[in-house]
Structure 1
Amino acid sequence: MKPENLLDRPLIVGVTLFLILYSVVCFSIDTLPDLRPAVRRFLDISETVVVGLFTLEYLYRIYSTENRLRFVFSFYGLVDLLAILPFYLATSVDLRTLRLLRLLRLGRVLKLLRYRLAFDRFAKAIAMAKEELLVFTLGSLVVLFLAAVGIYYFEHAAQPDKFRSIFDSLWWVVVTLTTVGYGDIYPITLGGRLFTFCVLMIGLGLVAVPTGIIASSLSAIRAKQEEIASSLSSDD
Structure 2
Amino acid sequence: MPDAFSGRKDLAPAQGVAATPFRRRLYVQLEPAAWPKRGLSPVNVGVFVVIIVTSILAIVETEPDVEVGRETLFNIMEWIIGAVFTVEYLARAWTAKENPKYGPGWRGLFRYMTSPVAIVDLISIVASFVTTAGLQPYLLRAVRLSRILRLAKLGRMSNAMSYLIEAMVARRYELLFSLFVSLTFMVFSASLLYLVEGPAQPDKFGSIPRAMWWATAALTTIGYGDTYPITPLGRIFAAMSAIGGIGLVAMPTGIMAAAFSEAVQKHSQDLVKAAGGEDKSAPIADE
TM-score clears 0.5: yes
CA deviation profile, 1:9-53 (whole Å, cap 9, x unmatched): 722111101110110121122223334777443322211111111
- Provide the residue aligned with 1:7 in structure 2: 30
- Provide the residue aligned with 2:161 in structure 1: 119
Q: Does 1:227 align with 2:269?
A: yes
In the TM superposition, what is the alpha-carbon distance from 1:92 to its structure 2 partner? 10
Aligned-partner Cα distance in 2 for 1:30–1:91: 13
Q: Does 1:95 align with 2:118?
A: no
Q: Does 1:33 align with 2:73?
A: no
Aligned-partner Cα distance in 1 for 2:174–2:52: 36
> Alpha carbons of 1:43 and 1:92: their partners in 2 closer, same or farther (altered >3 Å)?
closer
Aligned-partner Cα distance in 1 for 2:132–2:60: 24
Task: Tell me if structure 1 keeps the 8 A contact 2:81–2:128.
Answer: no
Alignment of 1:96-175 (within 5 A): 96=136, 97-175=139-217
Amino acid at match of 2:196: F
> Alpha carbons of 1:36 and 1:120: their partners in 2 closer, same or farther (altered >3 Å)?
closer
Aligned-partner Cα distance in 2 for 1:208–1:147: 18
Aligned-partner Cα distance in 1 for 2:229–2:50: 50
Amino-acid identity (%): 32
Unpaired stretches in structure 2, ≥5 consecutive residues? 1-20, 36-40, 98-107, 279-287
> Alpha carbons of 1:93 and 1:142: their partners in 2 closer, same or farther (altered >3 Å)?
farther
1:60 to 91, 102, 110: 91
- Provide the residue aligned with 1:74 in structure 2: 115
> Alpha carbons of 1:7 and 1:110: their partners in 2 closer, same or farther (altered >3 Å)?
same
Unpaired stretches in structure 1, ≥5 consecutive residues? none
- Provide the residue aligned with 1:49 in structure 2: 80
> Alpha carbons of 1:57 and 1:233: their partners in 2 closer, same or farther (altered >3 Å)?
closer
Structure 1 or 2: larger helix share?
1
Give the TM-score, by structure 1 length.
0.91
Aligned-partner Cα distance in 1 for 2:190–2:119: 39
In the TM superposition, what is the alpha-carbon distance from 1:93 to its structure 2 partner? 11
3-state secondary structure, aligned to 1:172: helix
Give the TM-score, by structure 2 length.
0.75
Aligned Cα RMSD in Å? 2.3
